[in-house]
Amino acid sequence: MTFGTNSDWIKQRVQEIGSLSWNDLLSLVQSLEGQAQLGDLQAQKDLDDLWYWRLATDVELFAAAYFPHYCQYTFNDFHSDLFATMGFMERAVRRARAAPRGYAKSTITALIKPIHDVCYGLEKYIVIVSNTQDQANQKLRDIRAEVLTNSELASDYNLHFKTRKPGETQYVLFAGDFACMFTCYGAGVEIRGIRFGAYRPTKIILDDSENSEEVHNEALRKKAEDWFFQVISQIGTKDTNLDFIGTILHREGLLNKLLKNPAYDGRLYKAIIQWSERRDLWDVWTRIYTDLDNGSRVAEAEEFYQSNKAELLRGVRVLWGVKESYLDLMKELVEKGKRAFMKEKQNEPIGGDEALFENFHYYRETKDGILIERTNTLIPWKELKGTDGQWLDMYGALDPATGQTKTKPGKLGDFACVLSGFKDRKGRLFVHHDWTKRAAPTKQIGRIFDGYNEFNYQKFGVETNLYRNLLLPNIITERTRREKELGKSLQIPFYDIEAIDKKEKRIYTLEPKVEHGWILFNRALSQEFMGQHEAYPHVDHDDGPDTLEMLWGMVNNRYRAASVSANAQADR
């Protein structure tokens, strides 16, 4: 152990064993094992001592030896670089690492290395910070789980807790008699004067501490930066180690700034180190793979890949090929969309100055059915409408303009948008009709009933709070009026739409669906509606994209609660 022991002797011992080449180490191990098998107790002691001190400096070997359940793939260059920079008994280190999502950066930095620190007495007080308190708590739970279930690790280093139930946000972990305090916090929390006995935090780990939504707000970015430098950077001492790991969420985000900060050892890694030289062939593969009108598209895309593999992979370099091949990454690019992929896998968040939607897939109505322009595929009316002419699978959604939001100077009021669309047998959403207008609430409600009469909605979605607080009474009144006028009952299946995530985040999830034709647009849609999509996010109004996200959720059964019963309330 390093705290309170002869550190000079430890350094000398570590240097002697750590300097051995891998071949020399194996040769010495084989010799000692042979002697130990003959009953030489000193040889067995020397063998144990050899491995103990080798693992002190070789964190990569420590990870492979004690965490095979986490280390199922060969380590990549990012891992090897990270292990190599973790110096034994290092102090006053400032490291910043941006690595692709899913590439074990948290596993190594916030799980394996902290345990290694305790095993070798390298840290007395470790603080772990994540974006939320729940996420931070999970880091401590992961460490606790290894201590309690990894019997070989716990036995070899005498890892244990002295309490039956270690805390959720703080506990002391022992390796023999050596004690290390662990504490975790959510980002933005005020932390002052924390100690473990005489020790202030000796190591601080920030693991994915930035907020994916708040990072897009300049004021909140500045607040997070001030908190980091004025709070986090001050809770330790001049010798405290600090590791900041994550994925770059914004070009002006804290992690990206630390990578360029001269006080930090900053390094950035991408899942795709070098893209294919044959973009033209990958464009062909993409067209085949995303042709939703071709039932054999996946098999044909695989056949095209295998037939042209050498050319498709010309010039390609990936970071972790044994886990994610270039083909895997291309499929992920299709699934997630360019914006999410470039941020999560390439650490290259696309700036807000670029339009979100690049490619739109259109269809038009003909006398025989609807014609998908890209593939020249005709879907006959008989697959979309019953013999009575009623639509078979039509959905609707309303983003109302209620006048509740204060209008900015020089800007007209919001649009109301009533959107109608149907899904086909493949699960695609066809955006068929929009009513995007500045109109009074009574006209908006009237359009719901007009749309129901025209399209026979299977479900109609309205945002929860607006529905209950503003629209419901007027909907009931309009329904009663129309029932008297028509002489029949109207049972529109209204559904609650509870918007949990922020609007911008929800709209951004539509990008891969629009890009690859899971959402198609009728050529007859209004210019206002399409213009909002073509220019988003550089628009004064985003009512159309917001309603489209609601409609996509309706088509995909995201809102599973029982339908809201305006009908029942009307009869009370």
pLDDT in tens, 509-521: 999 999 999 999 9
Give me 386's structure tokens. Answer: 């019953």
Winning range, highest mean pLDDT, from 29-43, 131-145, 274-288, 457-471: 131-145
Most distant CA pair in the chain, distance: 102
**pLDDT bucket at 4, cuts 50 / 70 / 90:** very low
Q: Are 202 and 128 in contact (CB under 8 A)?
A: no
How far is residue 150's CA from residue 52's CA, in Å, rounded to a whole number?
A: 17
**pLDDT bucket at 571, cuts 50 / 70 / 90:** very low
What is the average pLDDT across 559-570? 48
Q: What does the pLDDT read at residue 439?
A: 86
Q: Which amino acid is at 568?
A: A
How far is residue 487's CA from residue 171's CA, in Å, rounded to a whole number?
A: 70
Q: What does the pLDDT read at residue 317?
A: 93
Q: What does the pLDDT read at residue 507?
A: 93
Q: Which residue has the higher pLDDT, 561 or 65?
A: 65
DSSP per residue, 322-373: TTS-HHHHHHHHHHH-HHHHHHHTTS-PPPTTS-S----EEEEE-SSEEEET
**pLDDT bucket at 352, cuts 50 / 70 / 90:** low
Is pTM beyond 0.85? Reply is no
What is the average pLDDT across 292-319? 94
Give me 240's structure tokens. Answer: 């405290």
Q: What does the pLDDT read at residue 23?
A: 74
User: Considering only 1-5, 69-73, 158-162, 322-326, which range has the smallest mean pLDDT?
Assistant: 1-5
Q: Which residue has the higher pLDDT, 152 or 411?
A: 152
Q: What does the pLDDT read at residue 497?
A: 82
Is the predicted pLDDT of residue 225 greater than 50, yes or no?
A: yes
Q: Are 313 and 486 in contact (CB under 8 A)?
A: no
How far is residue 104's CA from residue 322's CA, in Å, rounded to a whole number?
A: 14
Q: What does the pLDDT read at residue 462?
A: 84
How far is residue 519's CA from residue 548's CA, in Å, rounded to a whole number?
A: 9
How far is residue 174's CA from residue 157's CA, in Å, rounded to a whole number?
A: 9
Q: What does the pLDDT read at residue 45?
A: 74
How far is residue 514's CA from residue 545's CA, in Å, rounded to a whole number?
A: 11
301-314: b (≥16 Cβ within 10 Å) or e: beebbeebeeebbe
How many CA atoms does the CB half-sphere of 87 hold within 13 Å? 10
Is the predicted pLDDT of residue 273 greater than 80, yes or no?
A: yes
**pLDDT bucket at 38, cuts 50 / 70 / 90:** confident
Q: Identify the CA nearest to 476 among candidates 432, 445, 431, 437.
A: 445
Is the bond leading into 537 cis (omega within 30 degrees of zero)?
Answer: yes
**pLDDT bucket at 564, cuts 50 / 70 / 90:** very low
Q: What is the sign, positive or negative, of the torsion defined by CA atoms of 8, 14, 20, 25? A: positive
User: Considering only 3-17, 51-65, 181-195, which range has the smallest mean pLDDT?
Assistant: 3-17
Q: What does the pLDDT read at residue 80?
A: 95
- The residues, any chain, with a CB within 8 Å of residue 485's CB and separated by 6 or more, are none
Q: Which amino acid is at 124?
A: K
φ, ψ of residue 118 in degrees (nearest 5): -70, -45
Q: What does the pLDDT read at residue 570?
A: 41
How far is residue 253's CA from residue 211's CA, in Å, rounded to a whole number?
A: 10
What is the average pLDDT across 467-495? 80
Q: Which residue has the higher pLDDT, 297 or 413?
A: 297
Tell me the three state secondary structure of residue 288.
helix
How far is residue 183's CA from residue 190's CA, in Å, rounded to a whole number?
A: 14
DSSP collapsed to 3 states, 153-217: HHHHHCEECCCCCCCCCEEEEEECCEEEEEEEEECCCCCCCCCECCECCCEEEEECCCCCCHHHC
Is the predicted pLDDT of residue 411 greater than 50, yes or no?
A: no
Q: Are 272 and 329 in contact (CB under 8 A)?
A: yes
Measured from the Cβ of residue 211, the count of other Cβ atoms closer than 10 Å reads: 18
Torsion, Cα of 381, 385, 390, 393 (10° steps): -130
Q: Which residue has the higher pLDDT, 330 or 496?
A: 330
Q: Identify the CA nearest to 392 among candidates 449, 457, 460.
A: 457
pLDDT in tens, 367-406: 999 999 988 999 999 999 988 889 989 999 998 886 555 5
φ, ψ of residue 532 in degrees (nearest 5): -65, -35
pLDDT in tens, 117-138: 999 999 999 999 999 999 999 9
What is the average pLDDT across 252-271? 95
**pLDDT bucket at 152, cuts 50 / 70 / 90:** very high
Rg (CA), the chain: 30
How far is residue 560's CA from residue 550's CA, in Å, rounded to a whole number?
A: 13
Query: How does the average pLDDT of the chain come out, rounded?
Result: 88
Q: How far is CA 330 from the centre of its chain?
A: 17
pLDDT in tens, 542-551: 999 999 999 9
Q: Which residues pair with 391 in a beta bridge?
A: 385
User: Considering only 34-43, 67-76, 97-106, 179-188, which range has the smallest mean pLDDT?
Assistant: 34-43
What is the average pLDDT across 56-80? 94
What is the average pLDDT across 332-354? 85
Q: Which residues pair with 317 in a beta bridge?
A: 274
User: Considering only 80-84, 234-238, 336-340, 463-467, which range has the smallest mean pLDDT?
Assistant: 463-467
Q: Are 121 and 1 in contact (CB under 8 A)?
A: yes
Measured from the Cβ of residue 73, the count of other Cβ atoms closer than 10 Å reads: 13
Q: Give the H/E segment covering residue 421.
A: strand 416-423
Q: How far is CA 246 from the centre of its chain?
A: 11
pLDDT in tens, 171-215: 999 999 999 999 999 999 999 999 999 999 999 999 999 998 898
Tell me the three state secondary structure of residue 257.
helix
**pLDDT bucket at 289, cuts 50 / 70 / 90:** very high
- The residues, any chain, with a CB within 8 Å of residue 562's CB and separated by 6 or more, are none
The rounded percent of the chain whose pLDDT value lies above 70 is 89
pLDDT in tens, 421-473: 999 888 899 999 999 988 888 888 899 999 998 999 999 988 766 555 667 77
- The residues, any chain, with a CB within 8 Å of residue 119's CB and separated by 6 or more, are 62, 153, 157, 159, 175
